[in-house]
A and B are shown apart, each in its own frame.
Chain A
């Protein structure tokens, strides 16, 4: 348990993704079975101990601590499990600390009523960091900034196997994943994924910087502003995966339920918008559904989702990834025809005479859900990741507005000594500035130095790490879209804002108004 606790703390304090992967990989290599498998499950979010819920931890605390002292401590620490772990009297040193698998076995074999007592005995055998790890393990929410995909990547790195292979077998296995480790260490063949629906890595696109492509070689289709998802179905089960490979079936159960065909397809998840006459609504509407583990029937009705299909990876059990895009496109059209049109449609190929004509069509596109144009080589195979020269994304020209810098905050990592995150605002009708967005990119290193100096020399107030600055600097901000927001006082929210120019020449009074931003609503 101490090694697991050290891993958890290491992950909490490490910011670099590569270092996180290394920490997990090192742990997986040297920790014995089945501890490491349980730990892997905890990190990947597949461990579920039914006997312990967070209410049990609160009950355990209330039994032992003065409620006022506990509340004051909880308010300060901000996390119940950590508060209990820190307040718990230290008795470690007597009984040997339990192993991860001992913890799992004890908690799995008890009842919900007995669980707090079992947990308390385990607490007495651990130090503060061990107690924290125990409570996080028992309740499932590790909160160490690790996605399932990252945990699998770390496994791949630990044993020199490809993460795609890990992905293929993952859903066929259950914690503590002993067969996975036996295979990782080269002691057996790869386990057979058998009849399970699992994630295959997406094919991604490079931005089309400047220049053009020939439409004989490349097909053009719209790039939709939703969530890229993959649907994998064996007939027996259907699962949805996000771009990172994390399962999102629970957030969109109606899609999984409606998918009545066997295969693996790639598409964009969108919300149907009434205002556009049954067409896709903007990303803003989709955000209401994002990140929800469970959705109510009301949510499903209010934000009806559908998937616009781009590509097909498997038709039945036939792997089409080795076939050219044109062949896959034909198969996709046949495949889609068999699906429920209310939930699935086809992303249309754009008919353009030549590249100039395509540019005109792109410039004229006004639909909210269109983010730009995709260009796909007609002979491109479906290859994992970003491959040069095969797929390009050609985004719509961004919108711009002149805003006034209001607050600045230090960046992280290499930028931690610079004020590099800026909150900017636009004018209200009665001459006040209200924040409309925050950006931390788009400027050169030279400009960053200048901006940092500006912040330091023009600070008017400090709020912890945030500096309020003199409202004198105009920033030209580029963004992909702007829409209504109830969360912001200004009532507007920008999508992908970035600094496009420093307008040192422009007086702050001449920056844009919020009503000018409203005029740009989709």
Chain B
């Protein structure tokens, strides 16, 4: 039994639908119903056993249950219980409000296996309302052009759209073709995204004053050249660091992340106070140092096949 295996495995527990956690070709898969739907959309006919939040099952004497992680639709922490010992694998998580998914629930445990994508004290994600206001102000200041927002196709794109709606923006939002199906899937899971229009193939004049959401890979490519005087925005936690944003030719950095920032990571550790913490996925050294300073027992767990750059 593997959790988020990077290679095809006979039995896999999958925390959420991002490609570096949910791979195709496993024998048996256990995941939340939403994650299974995302995997089916991405990989075709993938089947698995749905495990709703709070539910669990037994395997080889270990009780396995899934709990909300607040990262993207369907994302889960996995709790393993055996002989009175509790191990929680957070997967990717965040503690901030997100209208597109169920909020993170702290799960008491002895061993916590935590992510650390933004595990450096320079990473504090500002309130998302401020970032959305920045986006809307840029849109109002450029009614003759458009704003193209780079956002990961699963989760980030839908969150940005939902937050724009929450801020009262009810005009159509234009999306890159690669996002359509995922947005439909979100809508089918009761995450209303309002009026979405495919941007591909539209005349420049039709996109004046528009907000266009596209995967980061399309931003610097020819696809973006069909847009009328686009301002390049990027929704990512990495945008906190100026040089990072400049490297990617971003003109409007939006610090919006689906991962826990430094404060969320450390507050969660203080809240749960596990007797042992294993740190994976990201800046293991800095979070490890913080644990040492706070007399928490911790060690780094190196994983293979993880990409810590493009999401976030």
**In the bound complex, CA of A237 to CA of B232 (Å):** 47
CB < 8 Å neighbour of A66 from B120, B124, B285, B293:
B293
Chain B residues lying within 8 Å of A128, measured Cβ to Cβ, are 124, 126
Shortest distance between the CB of B103 and any CB in chain A (Å): 23
**In the bound complex, CA of A78 to CA of B241 (Å):** 9
Shortest distance between the CB of A459 and any CB in chain B (Å): 15
Given contacts A13-B251, A82-B241, A86-B240, contact A76 B120 (CB under 8 A): yes
Q: Does B222 sit within 8 A of A, measured CB to CB?
A: yes
B130: nearest residue on chain A (CB-CB)?
A127
Shortest distance between the CB of A215 and any CB in chain B (Å): 49
CB < 8 Å neighbour of B225 from A73, A83, A417:
A417
A16: nearest residue on chain B (CB-CB)?
B251
Tell me whether B246 and A73 are in contact (CB under 8 A). Answer: no
Scan residues 471-498 of chain A and give those whose CB is less than 8 A from a CB of chain B.
none
Residue among B122, B123, B245, B253 facing the most chain A CB atoms (10 A cut-off):
B122
**In the bound complex, CA of A14 to CA of B286 (Å):** 32
Tell me whether B242 and A82 are in contact (CB under 8 A). Answer: yes
Chain A residues lying within 8 Å of B290, measured Cβ to Cβ, are 66, 69
Tell me whether A13 and B245 are in contact (CB under 8 A). Answer: yes
Residue among B120, B123, B253 facing the most chain A CB atoms (10 A cut-off):
B120
**In the bound complex, CA of A155 to CA of B249 (Å):** 27
Size band of the interface chain B makes with A:
20 to 34
Q: Does B224 sit within 8 A of A, measured CB to CB?
A: yes
CB < 8 Å neighbour of B249 from A66, A69, A416:
A416
**In the bound complex, CA of A410 to CA of B252 (Å):** 20
Tell me whether B289 and A68 are in contact (CB under 8 A). Answer: yes
Scan residues 101-122 of chain B and give those whose CB is less than 8 A from a CB of chain A.
120-122
Digitize B268-311: 1 where CB-to-A-CB distance is under 8 Å, 0 elsewhere.
00000000000000010110011001000000000000000000
Q: Does B221 sit within 8 A of A, measured CB to CB?
A: yes
Chain B residues lying within 8 Å of A86, measured Cβ to Cβ, are 121-124, 240-241
Tell me whether B243 and A77 are in contact (CB under 8 A). Answer: yes
**In the bound complex, CA of A78 to CA of B286 (Å):** 16
Chain A residues lying within 8 Å of B126, measured Cβ to Cβ, are 128
Q: Does B49 sit within 8 A of A, measured CB to CB?
A: no
Chain B residues lying within 8 Å of A68, measured Cβ to Cβ, are 289
Given contacts A77-B241, A416-B249, contact A90 B285 (CB under 8 A): no
Tell me whether A417 and B222 are in contact (CB under 8 A). Answer: yes
**In the bound complex, CA of A82 to CA of B221 (Å):** 30
B119: nearest residue on chain A (CB-CB)?
A72
Chain A residues lying within 8 Å of B246, measured Cβ to Cβ, are 12-13
Chain A residues lying within 8 Å of B289, measured Cβ to Cβ, are 66, 68-69, 72
CB < 8 Å neighbour of A69 from B221, B224, B251, B286:
B286
Tell me whether B283 and A72 are in contact (CB under 8 A). Answer: yes
Tell me whether A410 and B220 are in contact (CB under 8 A). Answer: yes
**In the bound complex, CA of A73 to CA of B286 (Å):** 8
CB < 8 Å neighbour of A417 from B122, B123, B220, B253:
B220
B126: nearest residue on chain A (CB-CB)?
A128
Shortest distance between the CB of A270 and any CB in chain B (Å): 36
Q: Does B160 sit within 8 A of A, measured CB to CB?
A: no
B290: nearest residue on chain A (CB-CB)?
A69
Digitize B222-236: 1 where CB-to-A-CB distance is under 8 Å, 0 elsewhere.
101100000000000
Tell me whether B120 and A416 are in contact (CB under 8 A). Answer: no
Shortest distance between the CB of B288 and any CB in chain A (Å): 10
Digitize B196-225: 1 where CB-to-A-CB distance is under 8 Å, 0 elsewhere.
000000000000000000000000111011
Tell me whether B221 and A417 are in contact (CB under 8 A). Answer: yes
Q: Does A49 sit within 8 A of B, measured CB to CB?
A: no
A14: nearest residue on chain B (CB-CB)?
B251
**In the bound complex, CA of A459 to CA of B111 (Å):** 45
Shortest distance between the CB of A83 and any CB in chain B (Å): 6
**In the bound complex, CA of A13 to CA of B250 (Å):** 7
**In the bound complex, CA of A489 to CA of B289 (Å):** 40
Chain A residues lying within 8 Å of B220, measured Cβ to Cβ, are 410, 416-417
Chain B residues lying within 8 Å of A417, measured Cβ to Cβ, are 220-222, 224-225
**In the bound complex, CA of A15 to CA of B252 (Å):** 12
Chain B residues lying within 8 Å of A132, measured Cβ to Cβ, are 242
Tell me whether A87 and B122 are in contact (CB under 8 A). Answer: yes
**In the bound complex, CA of A15 to CA of B286 (Å):** 34
Shortest distance between the CB of A453 and any CB in chain B (Å): 12
**In the bound complex, CA of A10 to CA of B9 (Å):** 49
Chain A residues lying within 8 Å of B245, measured Cβ to Cβ, are 13
**In the bound complex, CA of A73 to CA of B283 (Å):** 10
Given contacts A13-B245, A412-B249, contact A76 B122 (CB under 8 A): yes
Given contacts A12-B246, A77-B243, contact A83 B221 (CB under 8 A): no
Scan residues 57-75 of chain A and give those whose CB is less than 8 A from a CB of chain B.
65-66, 68-69, 72-73
**In the bound complex, CA of A132 to CA of B220 (Å):** 28
Q: Does A360 sit within 8 A of B, measured CB to CB?
A: no
**In the bound complex, CA of A15 to CA of B251 (Å):** 8
Tell me whether A73 and B293 are in contact (CB under 8 A). Answer: no
Digitize A76-104: 1 where CB-to-B-CB distance is under 8 Å, 0 elsewhere.
11110011001100100000000000000
Shortest distance between the CB of A110 and any CB in chain B (Å): 28
Q: Could you list some 20 contacts between A and B, CB below 8 A?
A: A12-B242, A12-B246, A13-B245, A69-B121, A69-B290, A72-B120, A72-B286, A76-B120, A76-B283, A77-B122, A79-B242, A86-B123, A86-B124, A86-B241, A87-B121, A87-B122, A132-B242, A412-B249, A416-B220, A417-B220
Chain B residues with a Cβ under 8 A of chain A: 120-124, 126, 220-222, 224-225, 240-243, 245-246, 249-253, 283, 285-286, 289-290, 293
Chain A residues with a Cβ under 8 A of chain B: 9, 12-15, 65-66, 68-69, 72-73, 76-79, 82-83, 86-87, 90, 128, 132, 410, 412, 416-417
Q: 6 smallest A-B Cβ distances: which pairs?
A: A86-B122, A417-B222, A72-B286, A73-B122, A87-B121, A13-B251
